[in-house]
Amino acid sequence: MRHFSSLAAVFALCMFSLFFTLPDIRYVCAFLCALIVCGIGLSLDSSAAVAGASLLFFTASFFLEPFLYFYPAVACILMIHRCFRTLAAGGAAFAVLALALHPLPGLLLFLELFGFAAAYLLVSLSARNEALTEALRRTQDDSKERDLLLTEKNRTLLENQDYQIYTATLRERNRIAREIHDNVGHLLSRSILLTGALKTINKNEQLSDPLESLDSTLGEAMDSIRRSVHDLHDDAVDLDESLRSLIRDFTFCPVTYQYDAGREIPREVRYSFINITKEALSNIMRHSNATRAAVTVREHPALYQLSIEDNGETAGDSSGTDGRFPGGGTGIGLSNMQERVEKLHGNMHIFTEKGFRILITVPKERQI
The answer to whether residues 118 and 193 belong to one domain is: no
Domain boundary among 198, 219, 235: 235
Reference 305, options 279, 277, 336, 339; nearest CA is: 277
**Is residue 114 domain-shared with residue 52, that is, in the same domain?**
yes
> What confidence tens digit (pLDDT) does each residue in 38-61 have?
888 888 888 898 889 889 988 988
CB contact at 8 A, 269 and 367: yes
Q: Of 331, 271, 336, 335, give the one whose Cα is nearest residue 306.
A: 271
Q: Angle, to 10 degrees, between the axis of helix 205-235 and the axis of helix 185-201?
A: 160
> What is the chain's mean pLDDT, rounded?
81
pLDDT digits (tens, 9 = 90+) for 316-336: 443 333 344 444 445 677 888
pTM: 0.45
In this structure, is residue 140 part of a structural domain? no
Number of structural domains the chain divides into = 3
The domain containing residue 126 runs over which residues? 4-130
Average pLDDT over residues 219-235: 68
pLDDT in tens, 6-28: 778 888 888 888 888 888 898 89
> In the β-sheet with 347-351, what is the strand arrangement from edge to edge?
255-260, 293-299, 303-310, 356-363, 347-351
Domain co-membership, 47 together with 125? yes
Cα 222 from Cα 269, distance rounded (Å): 28
Q: Which has the higher per-residue pLDDT, 201 or 176? A: 201
On the question of pLDDT at 66 being above 60, the answer is: yes
Chain centroid, CA 217 distance in Å? 59
- Judge if 263 and 310 occupy the same domain: yes
Q: Is residue 152 part of a domain?
A: no
Indicate the pairing of strand 356-363 with strand 303-310: antiparallel
- Confidence bin at 277 (pLDDT 50/70/90): very high
Residue 187 has pLDDT above 80, yes or no: no
